[in-house]
Structure 1
């Protein structure tokens, strides 16, 4: 049995959860509270005490990209969520990279505004993060299909990454402007019709 360690709010943990579900893999989710008692304990799975971690029959895997590579490598061809090597794969990976970078900026924003004591928040850094998030989301918006999926008739890895990022940012009050991202929000809405996305949603 595969075990996915991490909380539901993390966009990186959720991307792996969506990937596992879309590949129809059996797995168990184990919550981790790294801002609580789990921090020290979790070093047994990752020396950096960070998620996601996927426990496999071959041991613990760390870092989203490495976990995804494992899932793609061990999946039957029909269940792979990345195109075959070539221009389509490069394009898909670039969308994933952009979504990942936006998610990283979102996590940095949360740490700065939710975790740091109010008197220690760096306003210029918050402004910079907001600007990066706005530009990143605008770039994703222009690339998001108006209907269907990045993968065409079925979601692929780009859909998993983008939806995980958009839904995570939606957990931060006032961070995004719905008027500027209609395609991204529509993609998120469409994803809710599929169990792989609905059951892993941060508010599920």
Structure 2
């Protein structure tokens, strides 16, 4: 029997990432749905001051609207030289929500005069799991690295082409999906949810 879980996103790459993580964890019986797979419902704007607040609010909205156990994440880039910004504003740093290229170019422009040794940064992801009948939990994953001066790579999305993880010479956008899953902020946060997702799967399938 399949357990249905809603990932509150329309991002196909995020859906595939969670499916890969569950499969490797032996939880392939969990069927991951996205927002495109359920009846449309009003989505509240992301107004939280933290990644955790936004992730939990999105998961609550999804669970309440659909009745399905729901996972939601909120993630972004914190740049040391920008005092941790763009942070929760990462997706709309240049103004229009989701304009990856404009966001990336604005960060590069803001760091033009910052020397290489002061270009540290971290990707941060908060992931929340809300089961309408049982519980809620929110976890956090971080991925340290540095910002380079020119984009490289075609994998990933967002700020991936300008972020080189610690211990790497390749950008996040030059890592293949399996490599990225094992080390990324989102991969770390989603794996931190696995104990709760195992419990959910056990409850759903029963003995």
In the superposition, the TM-score normalised over structure 1's length comes to 0.33
Structure with greater strand percent: 2
Where relative contact order (Cα < 8 A, 6+ residues apart) is larger, the structure is 1
In the superposition, the TM-score normalised over structure 2's length comes to 0.32
